[in-house]
Chain A
Amino acid sequence: MLQRLFGRREPEPARVSVEPFGWEIDVPPGQTLLQAALAQGLPWPSRCRVGSCTTCRCRLLEGDVRALTDTSYVLSREQLEQRYVLACQSVPKGRVRVHLDRVKATLAAHANGPPATAADD
Chain B
Amino acid sequence: MVKYLRFLSVYLFALATVAGLLLGGAWMWLGFFVTYVVTIAGDELLGDYLAEPRYGHPRLLNALLYGTLPTLFVLCVAMAWMAGSGDLLGLGAWLQANAGIDLFARREATAAWHWVGGILSTGISFAALATNVGHELTHRTSDRAAMVVGRWLLAITFDAEFAIEHVYGHHRRLATAADPASARRGEHFYAFLVRSTIGQTRSAFALERQRLETLGHATWSWHNRYLRGWMMSAAIVAAFALAGGAAAVAVFVLAALAGRSVLEAVNYFEHYGLIREPGQPVEPRHSWNSNKRLSNVVLFNLARHSHHHAEGDAQYWQLRSYPDAPTLPYGYLTSMLLVYLLPGWYRNRMTPLLLDWDRHYASAGERRLAAAANQVSGVPALQFAAGH
Contacts and interface: CB of A to CB of B under 8 A. Distances in A.
Interface of A: 1-2, 4-7, 46-53, 66-70, 72-77, 80, 88-89, 121
A74 B172 CA distance: 10
Contacts of A6: 142-143
A2 B54 contact: yes
Nearest to B207: A73
Nearest to A53: B172
B305 to A, nearest CB: 14
Contacts of A2: 54, 318
Main secondary structure, interface of A, reads: loop
A86 to B, nearest CB: 11
Contacts of A80: 214
A7 B143 contact: yes
Given A1-B318, A73-B207, A75-B214, A68 B142 contact: yes
B211 interface: yes
B58 interface: yes
Nearest to A4: B58
B211 A72 contact: yes
A52 B168 contact: yes
Given A48-B282, A50-B167, A7 B214 contact: no
A53 B169 CA distance: 9
Per CB-CB distance, the 7 closest pairs between chain A and chain B, nearest first, are A50-B312, A68-B142, A52-B172, A69-B141, A73-B168, A47-B281, A77-B214
B171 interface: yes
B222 to A, nearest CB: 16
B211 A70 contact: yes
A5 B312 CA distance: 12
A77 B215 CA distance: 7
A63 B62 CA distance: 32
Contacts of A66: 142
B211 A5 contact: no
A72 B215 contact: yes
B108 interface: no
Given A1-B318, A48-B171, A52-B168, 20 more contacts: A2-B54, A2-B318, A5-B313, A5-B315, A6-B143, A46-B281, A48-B172, A48-B281, A49-B313, A50-B139, A50-B171, A52-B167, A52-B169, A66-B142, A67-B142, A69-B167, A73-B168, A73-B210, A75-B214, A89-B142
